[in-house]
Structure formats: C-alpha cells, structure tokens
Chain A
Amino acid sequence: DIQMTQSPTSLSTSVGDRVTITCRASQNINSYLNWYQEKPGKAPKLLIYATSNLQSGVPSRFSGSGSGTEFTLTISSLQPEDFATYYCQQSYNTPRTFGQGTKMEIK
C-alpha cells in the first residue's frame, strides 16, 4: 500500500498568511494526488485533483504543485473560512490512501 505523510499535522496561522502543506508518498504516484478540505460536521470537499487542477467553484487562492512523491498545497492568503482540516489522497492505485490530515487553527 502507498503511505501518504502530511506535514505539518497542525498549523497555527492568521488571516492573510500564506500557508503551505506538504504531502509525501511512499512511492511514485505520478500526478495522481488530490487535496480535500474538511470542516467539523461536514463531508470533505475536493479542492484540487491531479496535483494542480482546481475543482470547480474553489477559490483561486488555493493551488497545488508537485510530482512523483512530493506535493504541496498552498493557500496564498488565508481567509476566515479556510480554517479547517486538509487531507491529501493518492488515486494512483488501490487501496486509495489518505494522509493523516493537517489541522489549521487561528493563531
């Protein structure tokens, strides 16, 4: 199974900050890396698919990059509604696997 490791696992940030979350895969997954945002009591929401493609309706302050085994999610200027937990997930093969999550909190 492909292991997905996110860092950091928690982040204390402020509105307006630029934030980067890293996700590493235990083997090459080409560009099959997706990012999700989860808020308490709600289902996860797909933000970015295939490394860098913004899902419809997602603000342009979110961006993704990387390839192979190392990937990043960047939020260019944090907004109050962005405080949430973020997960990466590989869809290169089965079983589909998720990172452990990065919880973003207000400083």
Chain B
Amino acid sequence: QVQLVESGGGLVKPGGSLRLSCAASGFTFSDYYMSWIRQAPGKGLEWVSYISSSGRTIYYADSVKGRFTISRDNAKNSLYLHMNSLRAEDTAVYYCAREVVVSATGLGFDSWGQGTLVTVSS
C-alpha cells in the first residue's frame, strides 16, 4: 500500500535550519508530483511547495520563497525540504503529499504522510 513517512522535524531557534525527509513506498515514486503542506497549531492547511515527477518544475508559496528548497531523489524514493532562516511563523506540522497532475492541473492530494512537527522557538 502507499506509504509516506516524514522525518526530520524538531525544535530549532529562529534563524536556524532544518531538513525534512519523506520516504515513499508502495507506488512508483518517479511518476508523481510531490508537495509539502503545513498546518500551524490550530490553523488550516497551507500548501508550501511542489516538485514535478522529474524534479524539473518547482514552485513555492510566497511565504517560504528564498528560504525553503524542495528536492527529490527518485532513486531513493525520497522527497526533501531544506528550510533555512526559520521564523516563529514556520512552526507547524509538515506533511508530504502525493498529487496526480495533468498539464499542470491537479486531481487532489490523494496520499499524505503522518506529518512531522517543526517548532521554531528560542
């Protein structure tokens, strides 16, 4: 079955860095676009970034552009999010999610990981 498992979350000071990983299994990882989506405590869902199946197309939310970098290793079935210059407002549960995309339009995030908590605090 499809499984996405995030790791790498934790407590970090403002201005610090963190790298999140998402290990995929149960499907052909290289066929799918992948996204990072976050949810601040008690808040709604916020899409953060996506990367195409090949890795050639990448987009970021304005709130993280220039600070976060998404990448993938299709040989290792893994997705990553490098987060720099972290701020208190980046505190959230971070989910990786799979999306079927056809001609840049999507058909929903059909599989999600369990999430990893990132806390930015001094």
Asked whether B114 is an interface residue with its Cβ less than 8 Å from the other chain, the reply is yes
CB pair A95 B107 closer than 8 Å: no
Min CB–CB distance A29 → chain B (angstroms): 9
CB pair B108 A100 closer than 8 Å: no
A95 touching B59 in the complex, CB below 8 Å, given contacts A44-B45, A87-B44:
yes
CB pair B104 A89 closer than 8 Å: no
CB pair A46 B110 closer than 8 Å: yes
A96 touching B110 in the complex, CB below 8 Å, given contacts A32-B105, A43-B95, A91-B99:
no
CB pair A55 B105 closer than 8 Å: no
A94 touching B112 in the complex, CB below 8 Å, given contacts A34-B107, A43-B95, A100-B44:
no
CB pair B35 A96 closer than 8 Å: yes
Interface 1/0 per residue, B79-111 and A, CB below 8 Å:
000000000000000010001010011111110
Return the 3 tightest CB-CB contacts between A and B, nearest first. A91-B106, A49-B108, A34-B108
A-B contact pairs, 30 of them (CB 8 A): A1-B62, A34-B108, A34-B109, A38-B45, A43-B112, A43-B115, A44-B45, A44-B95, A44-B112, A46-B109, A46-B110, A49-B107, A50-B107, A50-B108, A87-B44, A87-B45, A89-B45, A89-B47, A91-B106, A91-B107, A93-B105, A94-B50, A94-B59, A94-B104, A95-B62, A96-B35, A96-B47, A96-B106, A98-B47, A100-B44
On A, residues with C-beta under 8 Å from B are 1, 30, 32, 34, 36, 38, 43-46, 48-50, 53, 55, 87, 89, 91-101
